Structure 1
Amino acid sequence: MKLISSYSRFLNRSLFLFLFLLWSCSGQLNKKPGKAEVLPITWEHLSSKNGDIPAPGPSNQQTASLILDVDKNGINDFIIGARKAAPALLWYRRLPDGWEKYVIEPELLAVEAGGAFHDIDGDGDFDILFGGDTSSNEVWWWENPYPDYSSDRPWKRRTVKNTGGKKHHDQIFGDFDGDGKTELVFWNQGDKALCFAEIPEDPSSETLWSYKKIFTWEEKIQYEGFSKSDIDGDNLLDIIGGGMWFKYQDDNTFKAITIDKDMFFTRSASGQIKEGGSAEVVLSPGDAKGPIRWYEAVGAPLISESWIAHELLDSMVVHGHSLQIEDINADGFPDIFNAEMHTPGHKEDASCRIFYGDGKGNFTLSVVSTGIGNHESRIADLDGDGDLDILTKPYTWDTPRLDVWLNNGTKKSEAALPLNKWKRILIEEELPYRAIYITAADVDGDDQSDIVAGGWWYKNPGSAGGEWKRNTISAPLNNMAVVFDFDSDGDTDILGTKGEGATANSEFVWARNDGKGNFEILDNIPAAEGDFLQGVAVARFSAGGPIEVALSWHKANFGIQMFTVPEDPVKETWKWRRISEFSQDEDLSADDINNDGFIDLYLGTSWLQSPGNGSDQWKLHVIGKETTGLADRNALYDFTGDGYIDAVVGLEFGTDILLFSSQGDPTVPWPRRIIAEDVGGGFSMDAADMNGDKKIDVILGEHRAKPSNRLIIYENLGGINWKPHIIDNGLNTKIDHHDGTQAFDMDNDGDMDIISIGWYNPKIWLYENMSIDRNP
């Protein structure tokens, strides 16, 4: 596969690879390159009984748990809920050497099993939600007070529901009706109903949330358990629970499809545990004795008879109240975590187990512990080292008690550079006007990467902390679109428009470089059609054909357009044409998506197949749908290591980072995963190997986050698991990132640095990567 961007970007990243390999050969790194080795997992056991973790309590009925990054530092914390004695909710905040306990809810509440988290009030941090048990008809949410925390300061509690039936065992958040907004779904066992609630416009008010019942029953049974996946491949999240899945209908209702009518009182998990086809479902008895099974749809998942059950154990599970699907051993295939309660439950035979999957429907059983109670135990990275650990929470056995099992087996290669050593440098205090793009290239031929943005270029002073002198490219080129060696003379030229910032202008000129950063402006380019650019890609889109420049505009209905660079780009007039009426009006990436030898265009959730002959017969393929909002920035690489191209997509009006995987046939819908949730927009994103482990990571700069815009690297741990590294929390500056966070080696030291640019605050920033010791 060939990734085509600007010529200078290719050279810059090639230089990074060369310098990194040179550095590794010097003895700093001693591992051979290749696919990451999956090591056997060992578990380090920590327990509050041994003083390793602050003890919860005093309640002896620990009903709930959540794992989430409460304080936005990139490392997970966890929440413990309890009833029968106060406090009802505790937060365990992760510190470098353990956990510190904070009280969230000091009062006595009848907290039931379940719970969920989401940025309910839209202020940029996770809030939490729990429901009442058989003694309560209430559901509550707590507002995260980020960044003002105190170990004895409770969070503000607000009521979601205080009428109707009692008992609310399990809740889940997601956009289940495709309206771009997140909803709350919860079981109300006392009302014999599955309930669907829109988050109010002002959830911080004291007004109760409105909700509707989307499923009811009359039998003397109880449904419970939740998961969410796109079951039928329509790129809409579906609700899974109670042995069923629920499909949203066009009339704003949900249709219940039975998976297994006998598995109603169960825990639910879902995911792509077998490659290809629909997502699979796993069901385990949570408060009973019964089988643990995984289910696949061998026909249409809308037909109950299509669902085939596969036994995971020969014996029965007893109160297997903990169930989750994760890639625990980082081999690229999801595994199944299941654990039993002790009392009530399997007593001394209570097992915590992992079924390691191979992606083909085969599993290998491994037992982590026996005789220790598990209730709402969960899997996540608890110590920030990039692998998945286990939080064990018993219900009533030996309580108050907590246990943690730290995964010491799936360590990163020693060749990986650290991602926590960064220096932020302000390059431009205030641009004369907003610039659409920012990039880096060696403009003046001194083998240093300079910065290009808007109508200017900034000379690299030779050290990242030096003075970056601003130089005007030359009027009337006011908005750089792309840098490329258009005249093939060995130096970087610049193509751009005459408009400033978001001013509508589709007139192009190009700046011919003399190799020293002096430019001759040439206007032998016809005008295009559009307002201001959102996507540009340069490539030879046909075998042996000319260099061409694809364009995507901000305003709708302009399609995808193309400039063809003539053999003599100085004396001959460039040609313009429209190659597609369809456009997603955002970013463009170019690569040979279907491996036919021709470079195609990726648009966000669709791609245009190059005809390979210079014609305008580009075939459209729609590969998926956003979770919420609209596709904005994107990047094409093999992120999963399976040899096929994938796409990472950031969102406008959405808070997820998405990963679409082609898996061999890019003309059919691509399976979608979520890399990260609740980020402050996907307006500024790039992808590169940031730590030298031969896996492509994702860099995201937030644009509309609250209370600040962070810069985050999502470290690729194999394509399924991603570890966030917050390299700038943005709290002490008004930085925002817009079409920025671009990775280049700006100081020629062999690691990737990051340049970025703001829109609300039009400044230019350089983040210098300090991971390689220059004086070993």
Structure 2
Amino acid sequence: MHFRSGWRKGGNHFFTYHHKAFADLYHVVVRPNGQSVGQPKSRGSYVGISSHSTAAPTISTCAHSCGGQSTVGSCYCDTACKSYGDCCPDYGHVCEQAPGVFNTTNWGSDLTYPQQKTVVGDFNGDKKADIVRFDVSTSGRLQRDAQVAISTGNGFNLPQAWGYFEMSEHTRVVSGDFTGDGKDDLLTWEVSFENLGSSGNIQVGSSTGTHFSVQTWQQRYGSVNAKLLTGYFNNDDMLDILIVDSNVATKTQTLRVGLSTGSSFSWLSSWGLMDVHPRTKFLTGDFNGDGLTDVMKFDVPRSGAMPLGLWVGLSNGSTFTVQKWATWITTDQMKVLVGDFDGDGKDDVMKFDVSAGTTGTQNLGLWVGLSSGNSFLTSKFATWSTYRDMKVLAGDFNGDGKTDVMKFDVPHGSQSSNGLWVGTSTGSSFKTHKADQWITDRYLQVHAADFNNDGKTDVLGVDCRD
């Protein structure tokens, strides 16, 4: 996790309006298949503030019936049941906390549509996550304004235009503190539309707290299959970038790191080599707990499921030492996350097994690889009903220092009411429960971050349906 200005650093996740300006910039957007989207519509941005707790349970929060004792609240688990996980010895039941929930409200509305890009980050340095959105063109690179809505802790201020970036449907967008001043900045990278080898601008908007000072830091070629990751690869408090590219064939590719100087990226010839193809899944995180961000990849078969390698490149500040850390059954459909799931200071990895069908739902495993510093110890932490369109996030939803997971159930067809499910980590398993019910669809854009600075990860859903 990248944390600066009070955040913890490590892997590749955040722990993700001035209407006249938007109207001036807006063009009719066209889907990839040529069908017009039409005008954007005013939709809500919904934030679920986490109420998950690490406090010891009380008699009113024990979830199981305990052998005929008088009840208070959910049940009464005699005096031996004092902390989470304790047994009621006389009756063989387990004392559990009442499951936490997300307290969801509409934090603001804006003109949205499915192709827009949204990113979260702490853009004014007040320890509360904010949101930025971009209008997107499908007719080439155009200057687009970054619309930033600052969090007040219980809502978003009206969006303001903070700066112009080159933007297309293929633009990669990430946030992070690339200058080391405690405020998150915005980075965009234009990759090649037709894999013709043309260099694309890497633009960084350095945040002043009220706007982005946008400069081109580098020109770098990238195909539409290129992966852009971030991390503190040399531990100098300025966020760096990692680019891995691949074409249609499996081949050995160079891991290229751009170290931030605060105003540009410094590139060495190579930090290491990995065999990759377009479906290879990459994550970054501090897998050995030394304060430097490392890189890892999941080998993925072109079809079906196969036992393949999990490879980690440990950073020494100037190169990656690449070794195989584990073997997992992997598929192209699986979803992967990174986080410190046992709270030991080393980032771990996890995967959601997902049905190979386009609409099928199955009860499948949530598998975690706990890092020992030089290998992953893999085990199943839970079983969930999973499918291709579900949306998954990682975050510390109860503030206990261990990364948890969540999923948004998403309908295969039109918008409908569905569950938000959280698995809070015990360090060796996920205790899963339904934390809220939201109206969802496949266009919903979701992010996990601390929007009110209470030390617990919250969730944001941006309604982007037509």
- 1:728 matched to 2:431: no
What is the distance in 2 between the residues matched to 1:637 and 1:450?
24
| Separation in structure 1 between the aligned mates of residue 397 and residue 157 of structure 2, nearest angstrom | 25
**Residue number in structure 2 paired with 1:752:** 457
Does the CA contact (< 8 Å) of 1:532 and 1:554 recur in 2?
yes
1:692 aligns with 2:399: yes
Distance of 2:235 and 2:455 partners within structure 1: 33
Query: Are 2:178 and 2:206, in contact at CA under 8 Å, matched by a contact in 1?
Result: no
Aligned to 1:743: 448
In structure 2, how many angstroms separate the alpha carbons of the residues matched to 1:466 and 1:611?
A: 38
Q: Is residue 582 of structure 1 aligned with residue 262 of structure 2?
A: no
How far is 1:97 from its partner? 9.1
Q: Deviations over 1:624-669 (max 9, x none)?
A: 3246544433112133x577653222356556452223363643x6
Conserved 8 A contact 1:511-1:521: yes
Change (3 A) 1:489 1:421: closer
2:114 corresponds to 1:411? no
Alignment CA distance shift 1:726-1:539 (3 Å): same
Q: 1:598 to 1:623 in 2, by over 3 A?
A: same
Distance 2:4 2:433 in 1: 28
CA contact 2:406–2:422 (8 Å) conserved in 1: yes
Q: How many residues align?
A: 378
| 1:373 aligned partner | none
Q: CA deviation at 1:705?
A: 4.8
| Per-residue Cα deviation, 1:364-408 (whole angstroms, up to 9, x for no partner) | xx999xxxxxxxxxxxxxxxxxxxxxxxxxxxxxxxxxxxx8x65
CA distance in 2, matches of 1:755, 1:8: 21
Structure 1: tracts of 5 or more residues without a match = 15-19, 33-39, 47-95, 99-328, 332-355, 357-365, 369-404, 764-776
Residue 292 (structure 2) pairs with residue 608 (structure 1): no
The sequence identity of aligned pairs, in percent, is 14
1:422 equivalent to 2:78? Answer no
Correspondent of 1:488 among 180, 191, 199: 180
Name the CA shift for 1:662/1:715 in 2 (closer, same or farther; >3 Å): closer
Q: Which residue of 2 aligns with 1:672?
A: 379
Q: 1:632 aligns with which of 328, 331, 335?
A: 335
Q: Tell me, what secondary structure is at the counterpart of 1:619?
A: strand
Match of 1:203 in 2: none
Kept after mapping to 2: 8 A contact 1:497/1:506: no
**Is the Cα contact below 8 Å between 2:422 and 2:434 reproduced in 1?**
yes
In structure 2, C-alpha distance between the alignment counterparts of 1:737 and 1:461, rounded to whole Å: 20
Distance across 2 between alignment mates of 1:429 and 1:642: 43
| Conserved? CA contact 1:631–1:650, under 8 Å | yes
- The aligned residue for residue 79 of structure 1 is none
Residues 289-438 of structure 1 mapped to structure 2, 5 A cutoff: 330=85, 408-412=93-97, 418-423=100-105, 427-431=109-113, 433-435=115-117, 438=118
Q: Secondary structure at the match of 1:677?
A: strand
AA of the residue aligned to 1:419: V
SS at match of 1:624: strand
Higher RCO (CA-CA < 8 Å; seq separation 6+): 2
**In structure 1, C-alpha distance between the alignment counterparts of 2:228 and 2:110, rounded to whole Å:** 24
* Partner of residue 441, structure 1: 121
Q: Secondary structure at the match of 1:44?
A: coil
Q: Which amino acid aligns with 2:404?
A: D
Q: Deviation per CA, 1:461-493, whole angstroms, max 9, x where unpaired?
A: 636445541536413155453222323344332
Which residue among 471, 476, 479 is the counterpart of 2:166?
A: 476
Give the Cα–Cα distance (whole angstroms) in 1 for the partners of residues 64 and 207 of structure 2.
60
Question: 1:448/1:722 Cα in 2 relative to 1: closer, same or farther (>3 Å)?
Answer: closer
Partner of 1:460: 150
Deviations 1:548-578 (A, max 9, x none): 31235686558464332353524x7656757
Distance 1:480 1:523 in 2: 14
Q: Output one character per residue of 1:277-329: Cα deviation in whole Å (capped at 9) or x when no partner.
A: xxxxxxxxxxxxxxxxxxxxxxxxxxxxxxxxxxxxxxxxxxxxxxxxxxxx9
Question: Matches of 1:619 and 1:547 in 2, distance apart?
Answer: 21
CA distance in 1, matches of 2:271, 2:236: 21
Q: How does 1:186-197 map to 2 (within 5 A)?
A: none
Aligned counterpart in structure 1 of residue 352 of structure 2, from 637, 644, 650: 650
CA deviation after TM superposition for structure 1 residue 595, in Å: 4.7
Say if 1:596 and 1:717 are closer, same or farther in 2 by CA, change over 3 A. Answer: closer
| 2:204 corresponds to which of 479, 502, 511 | 511
Partner Cα distance (1:503, 1:699) in 2: 36
Q: Residue deviations 1:39-71, cap 9 Å, x none?
A: x9996358xxxxxxxxxxxxxxxxxxxxxxxxx
1:423 maps to a residue whose letter is T
Cα pair distance change 1:578/1:693, threshold 3 Å: closer
Inter-partner Cα distance in structure 2 for 1:644 and 1:447? 23
1:527 CA displacement: 1.2
CA distance in 1, matches of 2:85, 2:460: 31
Partner deviation per Cα, 1:66-108 (whole Å, 9 max, x = no partner): xxxxxxxxxxxxxxxxxxxxxxxxxxxxxx999xxxxxxxxxx
Match of 1:548 among 211, 233, 240: 240
The residue number in structure 2 matching 1:109 is: none
Cross-structure match for 1:498: 190
Does the C-alpha gap of structure 1 residues 702 and 737 become closer, same or farther in structure 2, counting only changes over 3 Å? farther
1:714 aligned counterpart, secondary structure = strand
Tell me what 1:536 maps to: 229
**Who is 1:240 aligned against?**
none
Task: Give 1:579 shift.
Answer: 3.3
Aligned-pair CA distance for 1:30: 7.2
Unaligned runs of 5+ in 2: 16-48, 76-83, 136-145, 299-308, 357-361
Paired residues for 1:207-226 under 5 Å: none
CA distance in 1 between counterparts of 2:8 and 2:290 reads: 22
CA–CA distance in structure 2, aligned partners of residues 543 and 97 of structure 1:
49
How many Å apart are 1:698 and its aligned residue? 0.7
User: Is structure 2 residue 263 aligned with structure 1 residue 569?
Assistant: yes
Distance in 2 between residues matched to 1:722 and 1:694, nearest whole Å: 15
Query: Would the aligned equivalents of 1:631 and 1:649 in 2 still touch at CA under 8 Å?
Result: yes
- Pick from 112, 127, 130: which aligns with 1:450? 130
Asked if 1:712 corresponds to 2:392, the answer is no
User: Could you give the per-residue CA deviations for residues 198-233 of structure 1, whole angstroms, max 9, x where no partner exists?
Assistant: xxxxxxxxxxxxxxxxxxxxxxxxxxxxxxxxxxxx
Q: Call closer, same or farther: CA 1:671–1:516 in 2, change over 3 Å.
A: closer
Change (3 A) 1:9 1:97: closer
Match of 2:26 in 1: none
Residue number in structure 1 paired with 2:388: 681
Superposed CA RMSD in Å reads 4.9
Task: Please name the residue that 1:246 is paired with.
Answer: none
- 1:92-103 matches, within 5 Å, as none
CA distance in 1, matches of 2:263, 2:173: 17
For 2:100 and 2:124, how far apart are their aligned partners in 1?
32
Letter in 2 for 1:509: I
Higher strand share: 2
CA distance in 1, matches of 2:55, 2:111: 42
1:688 aligned partner, one-letter code: G
Deviation at 1:754, TM superposition (A): 1.0
CA change 1:565–1:717 in 2 (3 A) is closer
Tell me, yes or no, if the aligned pair for 1:633 and 1:649 is still in contact at 8 Å: yes
Question: For residues 110-139 of structure 1, what are the alpha-carbon distances to aligned partners after superposition, in whole Å with 9 as ceiling and x for unaligned?
Answer: xxxxxxxxxxxxxxxxxxxxxxxxxxxxxx
Whether 1:660 aligns to 2:363 is no
